[in-house]
C-alpha cells in the first residue's frame, strides 16, 4: 500500500494553490527552482504580510506530494494553540513546510521543538521550508544559528510596474475572464495590494457567474 501524499493535521490548506500560479517577485528568480529541487537543502522565507509566503508553502506541499514523497504543512499560528510535541517524529517525512515561525519567537518550548526537528531532519534527509515575518529574529541563539544555515529568501511585495502582469498571469491561471480595462480600474480606484486584489477579483468573478453577467466596471462598482 502506498503512503499518503500528505500527513493530515487539523490545519486548513488551499488544495488549489500551485507553484505555477505564484508570481515570483524581483530578486527571487531562483526561489521556485530551489523549492522544486530536493537536493537544494532547507529554505527560510521571510517577508511582509501578504507577499505570498503561506500560499507558496501550501503550493509546495500540493505540487511536490506523491505516493512516494510525503509532505505536510504546519502553520505555527494555529499549531501554537496545541502542544509542541506535535512536531515530534515528523522527520520521517520527505518535506515539512512550517509557516509563521515568528509566532513562536521567545516561546522556549516551541523553539526547542523546532530546533530539535531541524536536527532530526538533518539526520534523515527530510527537507524543511520555513516562513517568517521579515525582520523577526527574536529567536534563541540555538534556533537562530540553524536558520542562518538555511538558504534565505526575502519575498518583496510586487512592485507597481509588475502588478498588471501579475494580475493577468494569476487571473489567467484561475480562468477568470477579466479584461485590461477592468483591471486598470481596480488598480486606480481600489488598492495596489496584490493579495487583496486577487481576493476581490475572485468575489467579482463569483458575482459575475451568479448574476450571469460579464465582468464590467458597472458590475465591479456594485461590490465596492
Q: What is the pLDDT of residue 189?
A: 84
Question: Is residue 149 located within the same domain as residue 175?
Answer: no
Q: What is the pLDDT of residues 82-135, one digit of tens each?
A: 999 999 999 999 999 999 999 999 899 999 999 999 999 999 999 999 999 987
Q: What's residue 113's pLDDT?
A: 96
Residue 140 counted as domain residue:
yes
What's the pLDDT tens digit per position in 25-83? 766 778 888 999 988 899 999 998 888 899 899 999 999 999 999 999 999 999 999 99
Lowest mean pLDDT segment, chosen from 95-109, 136-150, 160-174: 160-174
Are both 69 and 30 inside the same structural domain? Answer: yes
Please report, to the nearest 10 degrees, the dihedral formed by the alpha carbons of residues 115, 116, 117, 119 taken in order: 90
Is-contact 97 65, C-beta < 8 A? Answer: no
pLDDT of residue 7: 55
**CA 223 – CA 57 distance, rounded (Å):** 31
Residue that is last in its domain, among 128, 155, 182: 155
Considering the domain boundaries, does residue 87 fall inside one? Answer: yes
Q: pTM of the full predicted structure?
A: 0.77
Whether 49 is covered by a domain: the verdict is: yes
Domain final residue, candidates 136, 155, 174? 155
Pair (52, 74) in one structural domain: yes
- Whether residue 196 contacts residue 180, with contact meaning beta carbons closer than 8 Å, is answered with no
Full residue range of the structural domain in which residue 189 is found:
160-221
CA distance linking residue 144 with residue 115, whole number of Å: 9
Q: Please tell me the predicted confidence (pLDDT) of residue 46.
A: 92
> Is the domain of 134 the same as that of 168?
no
Q: What is the DSSP letter of 66?
A: B
Residue 146 sits in the same domain as residue 175: no
> What pLDDT does residue 8 have?
58
Report DSSP state, residue 94: S
Here the cell at position 10 is 487539523
Q: Cell triple for residue 216?
A: 464590467
- Pairwise CA distance, residues 152 & 144, whole Å: 12
Of the candidates 164, 168, 169, 182, which has an alpha carbon nearest to the alpha carbon of residue 220?
A: 182
Q: Are residues 119 and 166 in the same domain?
A: no
Q: How many CA atoms lie within 13 A of 38 on its CB side?
A: 13
Residues 149 and 183 in one domain: no
Asked if residue 14 is part of any domain, the answer here is no
Residue 170 domain flag = yes
**Measured between alpha carbons, how far is 103 from 136 in angstroms, rounded to an integer?**
10
Quick check: is 115 in a domain? yes
- In whole angstroms, give the CA distance from residue 49 to residue 11: 19
CATH code of 91's domain: 3.40.50.300
Together in a domain, 137 and 164 = no
| pLDDT tens track for 184-220 | 888 888 877 777 788 888 899 999 999 999 999 999 9
Q: Evaluate whether residue 4 is within a structural domain.
A: no
Say how many domains are in the chain.
2
Does 9 fall in a domain?
no
Amino acid at each position: 500500500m502506498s503512503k499518503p501524499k500528505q500527513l493530515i493535521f487539523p490545519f486548513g490548506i488551499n488544495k488549489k494553490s500551485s507553484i505555477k500560479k505564484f508570481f515570483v517577485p524581483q530578486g527571487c528568480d531562483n526561489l521556485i527552482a530551489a523549492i522544486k529541487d530536493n537536493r537544494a537543502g532547507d529554505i527560510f522565507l521571510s517577508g511582509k504580510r501578504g507577499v505570498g509566503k503561506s500560499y507558496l508553502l501550501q503550493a509546495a506541499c500540493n505540487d511536490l506530494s506523491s505516493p512516494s514523497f510525503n509532505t505536510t504543512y504546519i502553520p505555527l499560528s494555529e499549531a501554537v494553540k496545541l502542544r509542541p510535541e506535535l512536531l515530534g517524529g515528523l522527520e520521517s517525512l520527505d518535506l515539512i513546510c512550517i509557516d509563521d515561525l515568528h509566532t513562536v519567537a521567545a516561546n522556549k518550548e516551541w523553539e526547542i521543538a523546532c530546533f530539535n526537528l531541524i536536527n532530526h531532519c538533518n539526520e534523515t534527509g527530510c527537507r524543511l521550508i520555513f516562513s517568517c515575518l521579515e525582520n523577526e529574529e527574536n529567536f534563541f541563539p540555538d534556533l537562530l544559528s540553524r536558520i542562518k544555515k538555511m538558504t534565505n529568501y526575502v519575498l518583496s511585495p510586487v512592485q507597481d510596474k509588475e502588478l498588471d502582469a501579475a494580475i493577468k498571469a494569476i487571473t489567467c491561471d484561475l480562468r477568470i475572464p477579466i479584461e485590461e480595462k477592468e483591471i486598470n480600474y481596480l488598480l486606480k480606484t481600489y488598492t495596489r495590494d496584490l493579495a487583496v486584489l486577487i481576493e476581490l477579483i475572485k468575489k467579482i468573478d463569483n458575482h459575475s457567474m451568479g448574476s450571469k453577467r460579464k465582468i464590467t466596471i458597472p458590475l465591479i462598482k456594485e461590490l465596492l
